[in-house]
Amino acid sequence: MSALDWHPWQPVPPLPRPRLLTPAVLAEWIDGGQAFRWQARPDRSLEGGWLHHHVRLRLHPSDSTLEFSAPATTDLTATADALHTYLAGPPADEDLLPWRSDPSLAVALAAYPGLRILRQPFGETLLGFVCSATKQIPQIKQMLALVASRHGSHAAPESEWRALPTWAELASVSEEELRACSLGFRARHVAGIARFLAANPGWLTATEHAPYPEAKARLIELPGVGEKVADCVLLFGAARLEAFPVDTWIIKAMARRYGLDGWRPEQIAHFGRTHFGAHAGLAQQYLFAHERALARAARL
């Protein structure tokens, strides 16, 4: 058996609120800016992973159900289990969003029907979004690919997949080496966080499980982590649907759709949490995806 062999396509274990996805929704969900370790393949499948898990995802050619595969040497049962956690995400529900009374939200929901929030590993999500500051998604992916290839460990001896380094592993990577991975000024932040976490065992896990306001306040103590990054980490890496990350796209979307011109990010975040409610993070992801799609369409 070659190390390049993959298992036959398998159905992904049933997810909550099943829907038929389109390729565009699948791509936006998996590779639209929540996670940075996925790559589109020529056959329209997506290849990527998290921690030591390396998988491919596709929609079944005829019935559009979600399928996965993994390298032939991996245990499919364990992978399916981890994949289910990763994809099922928090119990987000569009019907808890005010789309009936909010035409702008309704349009965004209709643009990517079935878009979900991932449940990524907390530590990896923190690393990814600390690296995301003022970078475009392809560049963030490139930075993290370099960090993984140079400083991450193999999933298995024969595997091509390199996990991102854990924070414990990053503690022994110099800022210089991180700069060599094109992190720029983010290298200082990553190195600083790694040092802090090495000196404070248990801090990250306690933060992951703290109530949202406390978890966010703790994350913001870290160098390179402000409101936006903290909310991304809590939304995509800790299933906190009340987190409402406000980035440049959301600032644009809220100005255009809700008349919030000139509002400061924190005011927009407050508006988002009160207007969209307990699942505001889900609304954010739809608005983000829709606003970017409109910008792409305008460039063509």
Partner DNA sequence: GCACAGGTAGATT
Partner DNA sequence: AATCTACCTGTG
Per CB under 7 A, does 212 bind DNA?
Answer: no
Count of positions on this chain that bind DNA (CB under 7 A)? 39
Distances in whole angstroms, Cα of residue 284 to Cα of each of 42, 55, 97, 153, 246: 30, 27, 11, 34, 8
User: What is the distance between the alpha carbons of residues 122 and 3, in angstroms, rounded to a whole number?
Assistant: 30
* Closer residue to DNA (CB): 42 or 138: 138
In the complex, least distance from residue 75 CB atom to DNA, rounded to whole angstroms: 31
Site string for DNA, 69-88 (x = CB under 7 A): --------------------
* Closer residue to DNA (CB): 198 or 251: 251
Chain centroid offset of residue 189 CA: 19
CB-count exposure of residue 48 (10 Å: 0-12, 13-18, 19+) = buried
Among 182, 210, 218, 294, binds DNA (CB under 7 A): 182
Helix 265-276 to helix 227-237 angle (10° resolution) is 30
Among 120, 132, 166, 207, binds DNA (CB under 7 A): 132
Residues 6+ apart with CB under 8 A from 255: 261, 262, 263
Taking alpha carbons only, the member of 63, 59, 35 closest to residue 48 is 35
- The stretch near DNA (CB under 7 A) out of 93-101, 147-155, 164-172, 244-252 is 244-252
In the complex, least distance from residue 53 CB atom to DNA, rounded to whole angstroms: 21
User: What is the distance between the alpha carbons of residues 241 and 299, in angstroms, rounded to a whole number?
Assistant: 32
Per CB under 7 A, does 102 bind DNA?
Answer: no
In the complex, least distance from residue 291 CB atom to DNA, rounded to whole angstroms: 10
Chain residues that interact with DNA, rule: CB under 7 A: 32-34, 132-139, 142, 179, 182-186, 188, 220, 222-230, 232, 245, 247-250, 264, 284-285, 288
